[in-house]
Amino acid sequence: MTNSDKNGAGKDAPKGLAGGVPTGDLDARIRAARQKGGYGEYQTKPKEHLSGHAKASRLGTEFIAAILVGGFIGYFADMAMGTTPWFLLVMVLVGFVAGVLNVVRAAARMNAEAIITPDMDLGPKAHRDDADGK
Amino acid sequence: MASSTNSAHEAATGVFPPFDPSTFGSQLLWLALTFAALYILMSKVALPRIGEILEVRRDRIEGDLAEAERLKQKTDQAIKSYEAELADAKQKAHNIAEETRDSIRADLEKKRAKVEADLAKKMAAAENDIRETKEAAMGHVEEIASDTALAIVTNIVGRTAQKATKDAVAKVVKG
Amino acid sequence: MANDPIKQFKITDIFTIGGAGEGETGGFEIAFTNSALFMVITVVSISAFLILSTRGRGLVPGRLQLLSEMLYEFVANMVRSSAGTEGMKFFPFVFSLFMFVLVANLFGMVPYFFTVTSHIIVTFALAMLVISVVIIYGFMRNGLGFLKLFVPAGVPGYVLPIVIPIEIVSFLSRPISLSVRLFANMLAGHITLKVFAGFIVSLSSLGAVGVLGATLPFAMTVALTALEFLVSALQAYVFAVLTSMYLNDAIHPSH
C-alpha cells in the first residue's frame, strides 16, 4: 500500500483506488504487444548467417565454378581462333582469380551479415558497430 | 540395367543419367511448363491470398491494439477525473467545516463580548451606587456626630457653642 | 534394383505425345518421363497445399495455414533483407524457386521417387533463369549503368583490362556455382544413401551374421537420411538466398 507516503505528502490526500493505477499493467502489456509485432512475423527472420554446411558448400562451389567458367571460355576461344592452348591457360588463371574473388566476397558478406548477439565473445573491446560493415 | 522401353535414349545407355543429353530437351520442356505454371499459380493465387490474410491480421491486431490503448487512456482519464473530483469534494467538505467552525466561533465571541460589556456596565453602575450611598452615609455621619456632640456639649456645658463644636467634630471626622 | 545407386537417376518414358511414325528424328516427339511426372507432382503439391491450406483465410490460422504463412514470411523476409523493398517485386519468383527446389528435394527423399533436382540440366536451367532475370532486369532498370557491376569502384584505369575479365568470369560463374551446388548435393546425397541402403540389403541376404552386420549401415542410413533432409532444405534456402542477392545486384549494380 502506498497510502502512507501519500498521506505524508498532502494531508488527507485522496486515496484513489486501492493498489495504485489499475491500468498500469495494461499499458505495459499493450506496449509489449506492439513491440513484439507478433502478428504475421513468426520470428522466422532468415538467419543471415548461413549454417556452417551452407557456408562451406557455397564457398567451395563458387571457387570451382569460376575456374570452370574461365576454362570453358578459354577453350572455346581457342577453338574459335586456333590459338590452343593460350586462351585456355589465361582464362583458367583468370577463372582462378575470379574464384578467389568470389570466395573473398562471399566470406566478407557472411562476416558482415553475421548476427552479433550481445552474449557473443567478440574479443576484448569489440563494439557492435564493427558488425555493420561497409 | 537392361532397359527395353527407353526409346528416348537407347543410344546413350552407358552415359551417367544426369549427364545424358538426350533427356535434356524433354526435361527442359517440362521444367519450363511446370515452373511457369507454378509461377503463375503462386503470383496470381497463392501469394496474394496469403499476403492478404497477413495484411488483414496485421490491420486487425493493429486496430485492436489501438482500441485497447484508447480504452486504456479513457479509463485513466476517468480515474484521474474521479480522483480530482474526490479531492475537490474533500477540499470542499473541509472548507465547509472550517467555515462553520469559524462562524460559530465568531458568533460566540460576539455574544460573549456583548455579555461582558453588559456585565461591565452593570458593575460600574453598581459601584457608582455603592460610592454614592457611601458618600451619602458619610455625610450623614458628620451631621449625626456633630448633633450628638452638640447635645453632649450642651448637656455638659450648658451653653451652646454651636459653631465650635461643629468645627471640632468636623476636624475629628476628617482627621 | 536397389543395388544400383545410379539407377534412381535414370529417366524413363512414361508415355510419349506425337511423333508416332518416324522415331529417328524425334522431332515432334514429346516424352512424358518420370522426371516430368515428378515436376508435375511437385508443382501440384505446392499449389494444392498453399491454396487449400489458406482457403479458410482464417484470422487465427490453423496448423496448415500457419505453415503456409510461415513459408511466405520466411521467403519474404529473405528477399527483403537481401534485395530490399524493391526486390519484393521478385518475391513471387523467388518464392516459386524456393518452393520448387525445396519440395523437389524433399520428394527425392522418398524411396523410389525421382529427384528432379538431381539432374544438372534442371538446376542449370533454373540458375540460367535466375541469371537471365538478373541481366534483363539489370539492363532494363539501369541501362548501360548495369555494366558498372563489372567495374569495381575505386580501381585505377590501367588495371581495368585485368579486372573486368575477372569480374565477368566471376559473374558468369554464378549460375554455374548455383546449379552445380544444388545438383551435386542432391546427387551425392542420394548416391550415398542408396549405397548404404544397398549394403543393408546385400548384407542381410547373407543370413543371421549378415543381419547383425547390417546394423551399422542401417544406422548410417538413418543418420544420412536425417542429414539429407537438412541438406535438401538448406540447398533450397541457399538457392533462394543467392537468387535474392543476385537480384540485389541487378537493382544496385555498383558495389
DSSP for chain B, written as a single string: ---SS--TTSTTTTS-GGG-GGGHHHHHHHHHHHHHHHHHHIIIIIHHHHHHHHHHHHHHHHHHHHHHHHHHHHHHHHHHHHHHHHHHHHHHHHHHHHHHHHHHHHHHHHHHHHHHHHHHHHHHHHHHHHHHHHHHHHHHHHHHHHHHHHHHHHHHHSS--HHHHHHHHHHHHH-
User: Domains of chain A: which residue ranges?
Assistant: 3-36, 52-132
Question: A14 at the B interface (CB within 8 A)?
Answer: yes
Percentage of chain A exceeding pLDDT 70? 53
Render pLDDT for B30-75 as a digit per residue (tens, 0 to 9): 999 999 999 999 999 999 999 999 899 889 988 998 998 899 899 9
Most confident of B117-126, B131-140, B147-156, C4-13: B117-126
| Partner residue facing C33 (CB), from B23, B32, B49 | B23
What are B126's three cell numbers? 453598581
State yes or no: pLDDT of C100 exceeds 90: yes
Inter-chain CB proximity B54 and C51 less than 8 Å? no
Instruction: Provide the grid cell at C179.
Output: 546449379
What's the per-residue H, E or C state across chain C?
Answer: CCCCCCHHHCCCEEEEECCCCCCCCCCCCEEEEHHHHHHHHHHHHHHHHHHHHCCCCCCCCCHHHHHHHHHHHHHHHHHHHHHCCHHHHHHHHHHHHHHHHHHHHHHHCCCCCCCHHHCHHHHHHHHHHHHHHHHHHHHHHHHHHHHHHHCCCCCCHHHHHHHHHHHHHHHHHHHHHHHHHHHHHHHHHHHHHHHHHHHHHHHHCCCHHHHHHCHHHHHHHHHHHHHHHHHHHHHHHHHHHHHHHHHHHHHCCCC
**Position B12 pLDDT exceeds 70:** no
Under the banding of pLDDT at 50, 70 and 90, the label for residue B122 is very high
Weakest mean pLDDT among B14-28, B79-93, B152-166, C178-192: B152-166
Q: Which three cell numbers stand for residue C188?
A: 551425392
- Specify the pLDDT at position C27: 52
Question: What CA–CA distance (Å, rounded) separates A24 from A27?
Answer: 5
Model pLDDT, residue B14: 67
* Mean pLDDT score, C157-183: 90
Q: Do C177 and A46 touch (CB under 8 A)?
A: no
Place of cell 513459408: C71
Residue C79 dihedral angles phi and psi, to the nearest 5°:
-65, -45
Sequence length of chain A is: 134
Q: pLDDT, tens digit, for every residue of C51-99?
A: 999 888 877 888 899 999 999 999 999 899 888 888 899 999 999 999 9
Range in A21-30, C17-26, C121-130, C132-141 with the lowest mean pLDDT: C17-26
Task: Please state, as a whole number, how many other Cβ atoms lie within 10 Å of the Cβ of residue C84.
Answer: 14
What confidence tens digit (pLDDT) does each residue in A26-57 have?
777 777 777 765 444 444 444 444 567 677 77
Q: Please give the Cα distance from C193 to C5 (Å, whole number).
A: 8
Cell 502506498 found at: A2
Tell me the pLDDT of chain A averaged across its residues.
69
Kindly report the backbone phi and psi dihedral angles of residue B109, in degrees, each rounded to the nearest multiple of 5, phi listed first: -60, -45
Residue A106 has pLDDT above 90, yes or no: no
Give the gap in angstroms from C-alpha A77 to the nearest C-alpha of chain C.
Answer: 14
The pLDDT mean for chain B works out to: 84
Cell 507516503 belongs to A5
Asked whether the predicted pLDDT for residue A120 surpasses 80, the reply is no
Q: Hey, where are the domains in chain B?
A: 23-174
| Cβ pairs bridging A and C (under 8 Å) | 89
pLDDT of residue B92: 95
Contact C230, A53 (CB under 8 A): yes
Residues 62-81 of A with CB under 8 A from B: none
Question: In the block, which residue shows the cell 541402403?
Answer: C197
**Cα(B50)–Cα(C51) distance, integer angstroms:** 9
- Containing structural domain, residue C222: 7-251
Structure confidence by residue, pLDDT tens digits, C187-241: 888 888 888 888 888 887 877 777 787 788 888 888 888 888 988 998 999 899 8
Q: Is B56 on the interface with A (CB under 8 A)?
A: no
First to last CA, chain B: 174
Query: Above 60 in pLDDT, residue B128?
Result: yes
* Cα–Cα distance, C147 to C168 (Å, whole number): 10
State the residue for C-alpha cell 546385400.
C202
To the nearest whole angstrom, how far is the Cα of C55 from the nearest Cα of chain B?
9
Average pLDDT, chain C: 85
* Largest CA-CA distance found in chain C, in angstroms, rounded: 74
A53-66 b/e with 16+ CB inside 10 Å = b? ebeebbbebbbbbb
Dihedral angle over CA of C225, C229, C234, C236, nearest 10: 120
pLDDT for residue B108 is more than 60: yes
Contact between A23 and B75 using a beta-carbon 8 Å cutoff: yes
> Nine-digit cell at A101?
574473388
* Phi, psi at C16, each rounded to 5°: -125, 150
Closest Cβ–Cβ partner in C42, C92, C118 for B18: C118
Chain B touched by A23 (CB under 8 Å): yes
Q: Quick one: pLDDT at residue A51? A: 64
Q: How much is the pLDDT for B147?
A: 82
Number of structural domains chain C divides into: 1
**Hunting for cell 487449400 — which residue is that?**
C52
Q: Is residue C149 classed exposed, middle or buried when 0-12, 13-18 and 19+ CB atoms within 10 A define those classes?
A: buried
Per-residue pLDDT tens over the stretch C145-168? 888 888 887 888 888 888 888 999
Mean pLDDT for B122-137 is 91
Q: Does B18 contact C187 at a Cβ distance shorter than 8 Å? A: yes
Q: What is the pLDDT of residue A39?
A: 45
**B74: Cβ contacts below 8 Å, ≥ 6 apart:** none
pLDDT reported for residue A46: 44
| Torsion angle (degrees, nearest 10) of CA C223, C224, C229, C231 | 120
Whether C1 is covered by a domain: the verdict is no
Per-residue confidence band for A124, with pLDDT thresholds at 50, 70 and 90? low
Give the ipTM.
0.86
Q: Which amino acid is at C103?
A: V
| Cell numbers at C181, concatenated | 551446388
Least confident stretch, A28-37, B144-153, C101-110: A28-37
Is residue C2 one of the residues assigned to a domain?
Answer: no
Average pLDDT of span A102-107: 87
How long is chain B? 175
In which band, very low, low, confident or very high, does the pLDDT at B10 lie, cut at 50, 70 and 90?
Answer: very low
Return d(Cα C188, Cα C110) in angstroms, integer. Answer: 16
Mean pLDDT of A64-77: 91
What's the rounded mean pLDDT across residues A78-95?
89
